[in-house]
């Protein structure tokens, strides 16, 4: 199973990718998670990426393509994968295609989880996470038992800096300008499957499973 998940921020693609990777036993690779980890650890990559991320902009293609290329050449993608948050631009999609051709690999599907703008802003402004265990919460559907406190370890919950409303609007703008064109890229390659992401999480998951077989 070799998949990429596409969709605007807050479409639920991270949650769905994690659920599918757990069930299918394949690697779930989220470039957003890798970058947040790099920022937290203060690595060179983290220092280069931090400013772009806090403004809701994309980090430069060469940084992120290099990151994926390292994983691929280390054999980490050999047993199947779900790429979540990559590719994000047409040049990234082209670079991925070139990497796959060189390594005799290919994609089975590009899964697009479609959600409208207002729903995205509503969802992201209710999203919180635990800085200790990384568990995420969302109001009102999946809220902690005690307001603002992680159920698992009692840590005070935080918002992602890039979930503030003005940054969310910018991320949506960036998505439309830079990421949406890759929907056509994968449509032309007959790889795109489109899922209604405004349905309940269980129904979205069922639709994804059906679409990817
Ligand atoms: P995400 O968690 O996927 O929403 O990603 C959070 C942030 O990380 C994005 O707003 C970008 O700044 C950066 N990022 C993640 N993946 C990529 C990518 N493939 N290309 C460029 N920037 C990315």
From the candidates 19, 36, 123, 160, give the one annotated as an active-site residue.
Answer: 160
Q: What pLDDT score was predicted for residue 169?
A: 86
What average pLDDT values come out for the chain (213 residues) when binned by 10 residues? 94 94 94 92 94 92 93 93 96 96 95 92 86 88 91 94 83 92 96 95 96 91
The angle formed by the CA atoms of residues 19, 33 and 195, to the nearest 5 degrees, is 40
Which protein residue's CA is at the shortest distance from atom 2 of ligand 1? 32
pLDDT of 48: 95
The protein residue with its alpha carbon nearest to ligand 1, atom 14, reads: 32
Looking at residue 81, what is its pLDDT? 96
User: By the 8 A CB rule, do 125 and 138 touch?
Assistant: no
The single residue listed with the structure tokens 């991925």 is 96
Active site (annotated) includes residue 19: no
135 catalytic? Reply is no
159 is catalytic: no
Contact 26, 82 (CB under 8 A): yes
Domains delineated in the chain:
2-115+179-212 (3.40.50.300)
Query: What was the pLDDT predicted at 123?
Result: 84
Closest CA to 153 of 161, 140, 144: 144
| Mutational pocket test of ligand 1: of 82, 85, 163, the residue with most ligand atoms within 8 Å of the beta carbon | 85
What pLDDT shows up at residue 142? 85
Which residue is it, tokens 């307001």? 147
The catalytic position among 13, 19, 36, 123 is: 13
Rounded CA gap, 18 and 21, in Å?
5
Name the strand (E) or helix (H) holding 186: helix 181-188
Calculate how far, in angstroms, residue 102's C-alpha sits from the geometric centre of ligand 1. Answer: 25
Question: pTM of the entire structure?
Answer: 0.86
Question: Catalytic: 171?
Answer: yes
Q: Which residue is closest in CA terms to ligand 1's atom 8?
A: 32
């Amino acid at each position: 199973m070799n998949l990429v998940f596409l969709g605007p921020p807050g479409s639920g693609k991270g949650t769905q990718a994690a659920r599918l990777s757990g069930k299918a036993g394949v690697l779930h690779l989220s470039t957003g998670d890798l970058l947040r980890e790099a920022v937290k650890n203060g690595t060179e990559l983290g220092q280069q990426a931090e400013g772009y991320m806090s403004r809701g902009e994309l980090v430069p293609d060469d940084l992120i393509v290099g990151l994926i290329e390292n994983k691929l050449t280390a054999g980490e993608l050999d047993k199947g994968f779900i790429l979540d948050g990559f590719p994000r631009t047409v040049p990234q999609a082209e670079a991925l295609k070139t990497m796959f051709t060189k390594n005799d690999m290919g994609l089975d599907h590009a899964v697009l989880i479609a959600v409208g703008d207002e729903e995205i802003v509503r969802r992201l402004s209710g999203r919180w996470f635990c800085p200790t265990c990384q568990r995420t919460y969302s109001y009102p559907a999946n809220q902690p038992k005690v307001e603002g406190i992680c159920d698992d370890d009692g840590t005070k919950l935080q918002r992602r800096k890039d979930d503030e409303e003005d940054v969310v609007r910018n991320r949506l703008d960036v998505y439309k300008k830079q990421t949406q064109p890759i929907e056509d890229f994968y449509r032309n390659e007959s790889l795109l499957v489109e899922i209604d992401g405004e349905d309940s999480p269980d129904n979205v998951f069922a639709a994804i499973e059906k679409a990817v077989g």
